[in-house]
Amino acid sequence: MKNKYQRMTKEEKKQCQLFYYRTEKGRDMRKRLIRLLIIGIAGLLFAAFMVISAYLIEALDWETWAMAGILVFFSIVFIVGSLHLRLKCLNQYAVTKMK
């Protein structure tokens, strides 16, 4: 039963999400996951801004690329981590609470 959420149909997944996000723990987890997703997207946008602004003022060098690359890497880690934790929490709820 480890991957119960992944094996559910689309309607069952929506129902599981609805029930989970109505719980106190689900509401708190949703806020945290949305915050992680927003931080990841903001990091990607800021990295793009850094590269574009450095290009426009003709100061694009390896330090800018390195900082933007590091920022993109960690932003992607935040986004993927948010999605992974969402699936993990929903799967755990499906295994323990759903029939």
**What is the rounded end-to-end Cα distance, in angstroms, of the chain?**
12
Does 2 fall in a domain? no
CA 75/CA 19 separation, integer angstroms: 30
| Range(s) of the domain holding residue 20 | 8-96
CA 64/CA 22 separation, integer angstroms: 44
Report the pLDDT value the prediction gives residue 2, as an integer from 0 to 100: 66
> What is the count of structural domains for the chain?
1
Report the pLDDT value the prediction gives residue 79, as an integer from 0 to 100: 96
Q: 10-residue block means of pLDDT along the chain (99 residues)?
A: 79 90 92 95 96 90 92 97 92 82
Does 28 fall in a domain? yes
Report the pLDDT value the prediction gives residue 75, as an integer from 0 to 100: 97
Does 36 fall in a domain? yes
pTM exceeds 0.85, yes or no: no
Does 72 fall in a domain? yes
Helix runs in 1-99, H state only: 4-7, 10-22, 24-56, 62-96
Report the pLDDT value the prediction gives residue 44, as an integer from 0 to 100: 97
Phi–psi pair at 3, nearest 5 degrees? -115, 45
Does 3 fall in a domain? no
Report the pLDDT value the prediction gives residue 99, as an integer from 0 to 100: 63
Does 1 fall in a domain? no
